[in-house]
Chain A
């Protein structure tokens, strides 16, 4: 075995080196041409706007008027703006509560889906539906479900005799927060669940068999087999989930537009309101720029999550 493997490797390196000498003169050149279309898109419409956004945040640009450099004035202005700090608070509340519940329920659903049952494939396909349907369109459905006068939830609860009058879902600050968080959780669970399910399926059954022989309870099996094996994929999924919840825009815009009394304004919706509706591109860009440090933290976290996963699988870092 060992000699075979060595021979194959030797042959490989030989043919590799042949090819490298053959391509030495042009693989960078080739690579350049192959990368060009993707690079053009990403540089023109991603990197450049990212830089431009940071530049805008230190100018007083308005729609239709070139702005001048004003230093950190936008940020000082935002620092004294209670609405901005309210939006920061809302963003953190929204992200934390929604992510924690999405993780808990998503993991639970993944474990349920992982067990043997009839119509497995159909159930898994159906579970993903909330994730497939465009967010705005399902947000409109939630808007109707939360309607002040004709809410189906209020109607049912009144019929059951649990409450006396309609719940003002989107009209009262805390109700509105809870309502949009619930809609976000509804949309986010399938992604978390299906991704974790893929992770669950990579765990070898033999580990559970060994744990059963050792007399482990179901909780112990979850705590000492499932959870550690799942940690890397949890790190990645949760980074994505946190990232997309933190920068959410469509759901809030469709359901409340930040109201009532700015109670559901997230940083993204506030920046839209200030920049596009209000015309203060500079100030809007400053709000966007203020989101970047949090995003960087999430990206670093996911990066180390990925590294750790590779290392755990014993893959080389290529």
Chain B
């Protein structure tokens, strides 16, 4: 996997360890690091970021430039915000954003409340069979929406939720609860038992312990779970596609695909603008909590 098999790592050692955090990287000279680390990394970054550049570029390109094959497509001569304007004024885009926001926030709040209680019960109340329930919740994490959507469509229909945002608010937690519970279980385990014992001795009830002691101490864990849940909601597609039929109830991912695509090359501008705008909320949330996010993603796998 490394680019230099068989090379003795003694290399052109400077002999002076500058900083412990660098590990043994000081054993590599700069030209060598450029070839083995920076260059491949640059390639990765270019490939990973190119689609975003392309989305952004297309969304500000006038239609004439989009279809003019004599121009260099890598750049834009005369940028325009017409596509964004069209999106906001002539389509229901703001409404779709609002729908997605309502669904994502409600489903996230519901899931976090349910997960906090469940995780606390599994880790600390330890009712009989709690270990078994913990295992089952992990299993639930692995049941994918794409095998559930057909029967779930029937269920949603039977409960009279079809084509209403409630259908999504109530079904998304099935994706979010297993994940957040699993994450929070790990978090609660790290809180010292002694704190709870003290509170119990002072006569606190279980509910008081949870709200006054455990919750304040696990704010970072709850934020991680919340951010992850929010991005999962924003990303969810198949339930929103199947359970919602009228345009005014659609979420952004479904609406962009079904309402903006009309099989016409002139729609690439608004389409890219829509895709880019739809990514903005998750990116904002993410940028504020990058550290939490990374730890939540890895934490979910580690625990």
Interfacial residues, chain A to chain B (CB-CB below 8 A): 12, 15, 19, 22, 27-28, 30-32, 34-39, 41-42, 44-46, 48-50, 52-53, 56, 61, 104-105, 107-109, 111-113, 115-117, 121, 123-130, 132-138, 140-142, 144-145, 147, 149-150, 152, 155-156, 186, 189-191, 194-195, 197-199, 205, 208-209, 212, 215-219, 221-222, 233, 236-237, 240, 243-244, 247-250, 253-254, 268, 271-272, 275-276, 281, 284-285, 288-289, 291-292, 295, 298-299, 302, 318
Residues of B near A215 (CB, < 8 A) are 8
Nearest-neighbor residue (CB-CB) of A233 within chain B: B301
> Which of the residues A221, A249, A254 comes within 8 Å of B257, measured between beta carbons?
A254
CB of A281 within 8 A of CB of B150, answer yes
A309 CB, nearest partner CB in chain B, Å: 8
B99 CB, nearest partner CB in chain A, Å: 14
CA of A91 to CA of B41, assembled, Å: 31
Residues of A near B259 (CB, < 8 A) are none
Task: Known contacts A127-B44, A272-B149; decide if A141 and B120 are in contact (CB<8 Å).
Answer: no
A228 CB, nearest partner CB in chain B, Å: 14
Task: Known contacts A52-B154, A111-B2, A115-B25; decide if A41 and B114 are in contact (CB<8 Å).
Answer: yes
CB of A127 within 8 A of CB of B297, answer no
CB of B140 within 8 A of CB of A42, answer yes
CB of B45 within 8 A of CB of A52, answer no
Residues of B near A115 (CB, < 8 A) are 25, 33, 37
> Which of the residues B131, B197, B275 comes within 8 Å of A137, measured between beta carbons?
B275
The residue in A56, A186, A218, A288 that gathers the most chain B C-beta atoms within 10 A of its C-beta is: A218
Question: Please, could you name 12 A-B residue pairs with CB atoms under 8 Å apart, sorted by A?
Answer: A44-B155, A49-B155, A50-B148, A121-B290, A127-B45, A129-B49, A137-B256, A212-B9, A217-B9, A272-B242, A276-B153, A285-B150
B5 CB–A CB distance under 8 Å: yes
> Which of the residues A19, A28, A127, A152 comes within 8 Å of B73, measured between beta carbons?
A152
> Which of the residues B2, B130, B271 comes within 8 Å of A31, measured between beta carbons?
B130
CB of B301 within 8 A of CB of A237, answer yes
CB of A144 within 8 A of CB of B173, answer no
> In chain B between 1 and 56, which residues have their CB closer than 8 angstroms to a CB of chain A?
1-2, 4-10, 21-25, 27, 33, 37-38, 40-41, 44-45, 47-49, 51-52, 54-55
Nearest-neighbor residue (CB-CB) of A22 within chain B: B200
CA of A12 to CA of B284, assembled, Å: 45
CB of A218 within 8 A of CB of B147, answer no
> Which of the residues A149, A194, A281, A291 comes within 8 Å of B154, measured between beta carbons?
A281
> Which of the residues A32, A136, A152, A217 comes within 8 Å of B253, measured between beta carbons?
A136
The residue in B25, B69, B257 that gathers the most chain A C-beta atoms within 10 A of its C-beta is: B257
> Which of the residues A111, A127, A133, A208 comes within 8 Å of B283, measured between beta carbons?
A133
Residues of B near A32 (CB, < 8 A) are 127
Interfacial residues, chain B to chain A (CB-CB below 8 A): 1-2, 4-10, 21-25, 27, 33, 37-38, 40-41, 44-45, 47-49, 51-52, 54-55, 58, 66-67, 69, 73-74, 110-111, 113-115, 117-118, 120-122, 125-128, 130-131, 133, 137, 139-140, 142-155, 170-171, 173-174, 177-178, 181, 193, 197, 200, 206, 231, 234-235, 237-238, 241-242, 252-254, 256-257, 265, 268, 271-272, 274-276, 278-279, 282-283, 286-287, 290, 293-295, 297-298, 301-302
Residues of A near B151 (CB, < 8 A) are 49-50, 52-53, 56, 285
Residues of B near A140 (CB, < 8 A) are 256-257, 271-272, 275
CA of A149 to CA of B264, assembled, Å: 12
Task: Known contacts A124-B294, A189-B48; decide if A39 and B118 are in contact (CB<8 Å).
Answer: yes
CA of A235 to CA of B231, assembled, Å: 25
CA of A150 to CA of B70, assembled, Å: 12
